[in-house]
Chain A
Amino acid sequence: MSAQPTGQPAANNGKYTTTYTLFLIAIVCSTVALMIFNAVPHAVFLSIILIWPAFASGASAVKDISSYGIGTGVASIGMLGAGVGTISAFSSIFIDIPFSAFIGIIAAFVIGFVTGLCANKIIKMKIPRMELKIAIMSASAAMIATLFVSIFSNNIDMLLTDVYIVLPLIFIATALAIIHPYNGSMGAGENQPRTLKLAFAEASLTTLLFGLISLAYTDTITSIEILLVSGLGFVIFTTIFLRAINAEIYKLEWSGVV
């Protein structure tokens, strides 16, 4: 097995945030985001801002697992996490008790943990704490999927029949937003702060996409709120990310290709 630890990146200028810390922030923020949306639907812009840490938490978990050199691509591990997260989130729609959305998130964590346990104990991947990392990735994906199914359905506990059309899109967009920050940054000079900056930029871009879709399902004010806050977030995070790149690269030469 190619579980060769490359070591936690030391060259992070002391700014390394553990995935567990990010996950705790994501849990608190996502819970508040869902509660805000449930209580005051027109404060959806706050929910959108509060869901971004879930993207960062998922992306950090992908980075932690992938940096050990797994036997398949970064995309596969992210798809696994997103798969567990979204099937739990979509299945929780059918649970007929209040706040069933949270059951989906807990189930994603449990199923993700069992997947990691199988990978580490039966397949013998021997990646330290892989169980927890997959569980974190799955729960993060479930938080994202749950919020957007709730926004499109205008309700935290039920699914509008029309919303089923966008479920595959929620699945793949969530997966890509979790996978790509590490996949796009990986290499010798990769470091967590920059990867997380890209994660936030992609998170806001993903919520921008969902904002466009929400025009078909929600009232115009809600959609405009999502679009504005996501657009603003995308501009800010992309600027921060590009500044980080410019500060860390040796030299930037214009090749004239684009």
Chain B
Amino acid sequence: MDPIIALFGIIIGGTLVGVCVHFIPCSAVGAMAATTGIATGPTMLAAGAGMMGLMAAAYNLDNGLALMLASGAIASMLMIALTSVVANITYAFGVGVAPTSGQSEYDRFTGFEQKQCLTPGTDGHGIPTQSFISGVIGAAIGGIGGALVFYSVYTLISPSIPSSTAVAIAGIIAVGIYIINGVLPAYTLVGKTEGMTDEKFKTTPKTFYSCLIMSTVSGIFVYAASVVI
């Protein structure tokens, strides 16, 4: 990969990571079954899925970019899907509530009525099908973005150091870029979202521009440090 294309890889990957956070249903209030979503902060969940994707992507470093992006996406999707399933089992059999959206009358995919399962005084609970699918789509976007950042950074730094060292350093720099781009959307979501069906999904352009600028600045520095200077 040409260094300039790698720079664009960091920018595109970083922006995808930022956008992916809007798809993943999460909320810290979810821990009390008081709102829809996985019970944690958007950043932590996106970072968890991202790191999973990066690890899987690193295994396919020698097998080409396409396979790397695919393995990154699949690993992230698996992570979010399993987390959602386990969270739903806990909500259903531990807390005793059904996965319900607090914002939709009917589930967009299954058509199930949501209001009748909603506990009064809460904003939903668990991860209903629409949020689950949204989360998996978001994880795929994030996984591809993370793997792209990783591969691009690896391409930039690998000529100057041994391959094994380059993989490790590219991994930690990619995690750093993932976390930066994961935190910015969390500010627009104010800590909770139901995924792509949430009202706050309309704020995605704000995230897009912020992450585009952030990824450009970070990418230019990594590019300048490893190639130019």
B221 touches A88 (CB 8 A): yes
Given contacts A71-B190, A87-B222, contact A122 B210 (CB under 8 A): yes
Contacts of B68 in A (CB 8 A): none
Is B221's CB under 8 angstroms from A107's CB?
yes
What distance in Å separates the Cβ of B60 from its nearest Cβ neighbour in chain A? Answer: 20
Query: With an 8 A cutoff between CB atoms, is A119 at the interface?
Result: yes
Report whether B176 and A171 are in contact in the complex, using a CB–CB cutoff of 8 Å. yes
CB distance from A197 to the nearest CB of B (A): 27
* Complex contacts, A71 vs chain B, CB 8 Å: 186-191
> 4 tightest CB-CB pairs across the interface, nearest first?
A87-B176, A71-B190, A118-B210, A72-B186
Using known A-B contacts A83-B176, A115-B214, determine if residue A165 contacts B221 with beta carbons closer than 8 Å. no
State whether A114 touches B41 (Cβ < 8 A): no
- The answer to whether A164 and B176 touch (CB under 8 A), given A72-B187, A95-B229, A118-B184, is no
A125–B186 Cα distance when bound, in Å, is 11
Q: Closest Cβ of chain A: how far from B18's Cβ, in Å?
A: 10
Query: Is there an interface contact between B180 and A123, defined as CB atoms closer than 8 Å?
Result: no
B175 contacts the other chain (CB 8 A)? yes
Q: How far is the CB of A109 from chain B (nearest CB, A)?
A: 12
**Chain A contacts of B190 at CB under 8 A?**
1-2, 71-72
Which residues on the A side are within 8 Å of B222 (C-beta)?
87, 91
B173 interface hit (Cβ, 8 Å): yes
Q: Chain B residues with Cβ under 8 A from A118's Cβ?
A: 184, 209-210, 213-214
Contact of A111 among B160, B165, B191, B221 (CB under 8 A): B221
Q: Decide yes or no whether A208 CB sits under 8 A from chain B.
A: no
Instruction: Verify B183–A72 contact, CB threshold 8 A.
Output: yes
Interface residues as binary, A52-82 with B (CB distance below 8 Å gives 1, 0 otherwise): 0000000000000000001111011101100
B210 closest partner in A (C-beta): A118
Inter-subunit contact A110/B217 (CB<8 Å): yes
Q: A87-B173, A91-B222, A123-B188 are in contact. List 7 more A-B contacts (CB 8 A).
A: A84-B176, A90-B169, A90-B176, A96-B229, A122-B206, A161-B164, A171-B176
B225 touching A91 by the CB < 8 A rule? yes
CA–CA, A248 and B177, complex, Å: 40
Which of B198-220 touch A at CB < 8 Å?
A: 206-207, 209-210, 213-214, 217-218
Q: B214, A167: Cβ atoms under 8 Å?
A: no
For B44, B168, B179, B207, the residue with the greatest tally of chain A CB atoms inside 10 Å of its CB is B179
How far is A118 from B179 in the complex, measured between Cα atoms in Å? 15
Chain B interface main SS type: helix
A92 contacts chain B at the CB level, 8 A cutoff: yes
A residues 34-57 touching B (CB-CB < 8 Å): none
Tell me, yes or no, whether B28 is within 8 Å of chain A by CB. Answer: yes
Instruction: Say whether, besides A94-B157, A110-B217, A123-B206, A164 and B168 are in contact (CB < 8 Å).
Output: yes
Tell me the smallest distance from the CB of B178 to a CB of chain A, in Å. Answer: 8
**Interface pair B218/A75, CB less than 8 Å apart:** no
B43 CB–A CB distance under 8 Å: yes
- Write out, one digit per residue, whether chain A residues 113-127 have a CB within 8 A of any chain B CB (1) or not (0): 011001100111100
Say whether B1 faces chain A, with CB atoms less than 8 Å apart: no
**In the assembled complex, how far is the CB of residue A142 from the closest CB belonging to chain B, in whole angstroms?**
11
Chain B residues lying within 8 Å of A10, measured Cβ to Cβ, are none
- Beyond A76-B41, A76-B186, A96-B229, whether A122 also contacts B209 by CB under 8 A is yes
Contact B187 A123 (CB under 8 A): yes
**Measured between alpha carbons, how far is A212 from B38 in the docked complex, in Å?**
37
Question: Given the interface contacts A73-B28, A75-B44, A79-B183, does A167 sit within 8 Å of B172 by beta carbon?
Answer: yes
CA separation between A100 and B229, bound complex, in Å? 10
Contact between B168 and A167, CB atoms less than 8 A apart: yes
10 examples of A-B residue contacts, CB within 8 angstroms: A84-B176, A84-B218, A87-B180, A93-B169, A95-B229, A115-B184, A123-B187, A161-B161, A164-B168, A171-B176
* Interface status of B226 (Cβ within 8 A of chain A): yes
Residue B42 is within 8 A (CB to CB) of chain A in the complex? yes
* A230: Cβ under 8 A from any B Cβ: no
A220 to B225, CA, bound (A): 33
CB closest chain-A residue, reference B205:
A122
